[in-house]
């Protein structure tokens, strides 16, 4: 039989077939030998008899996969970003966007706590919101927190897609989920238990049905430890930089010190967000400074 893993709990994988039937399975021992770990979101072939546990036989190739949350075959991500409390960080937002771009996952930026901003603070966000929209990101930023208009528009994005929610601890991911799907009838803390947010040592990962699609939540975080791409690849994951690269004088331009750089010219002209470029430079340096990893198992 074929199906998709919808939940992982204490070594058991709950697999749902196309007709909606749910089967509890385990991964066969040869997966460990091959160093393959099935993930929530994987499409698998499995065997199961009525009234008994089944076994996963094979895992289909993944389109993409994230470590946090450990989910594969993701269509899009909602990056929940607090406008305040905690203080907004374009650096943290861009880290998340780069991670998603590297996996070819469409990003939606949803600002929370906008109702706590003063008029002057909201005005400060205006060019920033326009900048991210100009890049091509879907951005939700309303004066009213969790407005029906925004919730309906976001809910419409979920149909027939697997969506992950990402964001800093305290940004309001669970609160947003509660507004999106009131039929869950769960308090915010209870959503954390269902989706296994909170402690990183928990073993349960699952998908919820929301808006005609599947939604996964993820533990909050403050930063990514490092970047997984080569330093020469980083510019590919800034769409506005990637679009300008063919106009640079030198092929393979890193947009730092090279003459005739179209990206630097666009930054100076105000056509590329200064904050994005500054974050690009910082990420570039971080990647360059990362120590190479060596496989300790190799002799």
Is 170 assigned to a binding site?
yes
Q: Is 179 annotated as a binding residue?
A: no
Determine whether the annotation assigns residue 212 to a binding site.
no
Give the C-alpha separation, 71 to 213, whole Å.
Answer: 15
Instruction: Please tell me whether 115 is known to bind a ligand.
Output: yes
Angle between helices 173-180 and 188-195 (to 10 degrees): 100
174 is in an annotated binding site: yes
Residue 167 annotated as binding site: yes
Contact 85, 116 (CB under 8 A): yes
> Is 114 one of the annotated binding-site residues?
yes
Q: Is 72 annotated as a binding residue?
A: no
Q: Is 213 annotated as a binding residue?
A: no
> Is 58 assigned a ligand-binding role in the annotation?
no
Ligand-binding annotation for 171, yes or no, is yes
Q: How far apart are CA 233 and CA 246, in angstroms?
A: 14
157 is in an annotated binding site: no
Residue in this structure with the two tokens 């960080």, named with its chain if needed: 89
Distances (CA, A) of 125 to 30, 67, 130, 298: 52, 31, 9, 50
- CA-CA distance, 145 to 116, in Å (whole number)? 9
172 is in an annotated binding site: yes
For the chain, how far is it from start to end, CA to CA, in angstroms?
Answer: 41
Does 113 carry a binding-site annotation? yes
> In whole angstroms, what is the distance from residue 61 CA to residue 72 CA?
10
Consult the annotation and say whether 33 binds a ligand.
no
Residues annotated within the binding site for Zn(2+) are 248, 253, 255, 261
Known binding-site positions for GTP: 112-115, 167-175
- Where is the binding site, in residues? 112-115, 167-175, 248, 253, 255, 261
């Amino acid at each position: 039989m074929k199906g998709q893993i919808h939940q992982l709990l204490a070594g058991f994988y709950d697999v749902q077939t196309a007709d909606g039937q749910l089967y509890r399975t385990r991964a066969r021992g040869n997966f460990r030998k091959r160093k393959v770990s099935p993930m929530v979101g994987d499409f698998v072939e499995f065997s199961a008899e009525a009234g008994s546990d089944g076994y996963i036989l094979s895992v289909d190739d993944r389109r993409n996969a994230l470590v946090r949350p450990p989910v594969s075959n993701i269509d899009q991500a909602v990056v929940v970003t607090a406008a305040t409390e905690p203080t907004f960080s374009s650096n943290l937002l861009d880290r998340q966007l780069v991670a998603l771009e590297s996996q070819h996952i469409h990003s939606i930026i949803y600002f929370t706590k906008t109702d706590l901003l003063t008029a002057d603070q909201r005005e400060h966000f205006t060019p920033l919101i326009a900048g991210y929209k100009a890049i091509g990101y879907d951005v939700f930023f309303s004066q009213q927190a969790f407005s029906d208009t925004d919730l309906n528009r976001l809910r419409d994005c979920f149909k027939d897609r697997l969506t992950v929610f990402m964001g800093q601890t305290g940004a309001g991911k669970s609160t947003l989920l509660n507004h999106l799907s009131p039929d869950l009838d769960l308090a915010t803390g209870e959503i954390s238990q269902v989706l296994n947010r909170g402690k990183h040592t928990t073993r349960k990962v699952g998908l919820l049905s929301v808006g005609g699609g599947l939604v996964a939540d993820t533990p909050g975080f403050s930063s990514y430890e490092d970047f997984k791409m080569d330093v020469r690849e980083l510019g590919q994951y800034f769409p506005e930089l990637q679009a300008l690269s063919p106009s640079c004088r030198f092929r393979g331009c890193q947009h730092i010190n090279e003459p005739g750089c179209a990206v630097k010219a666009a930054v100076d002209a105000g056509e590329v967000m200064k904050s994005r470029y500054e974050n690009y430079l910082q990420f570039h340096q971080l990647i360059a400074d990362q120590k190479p990893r060596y496989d300790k198992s190799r002799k």
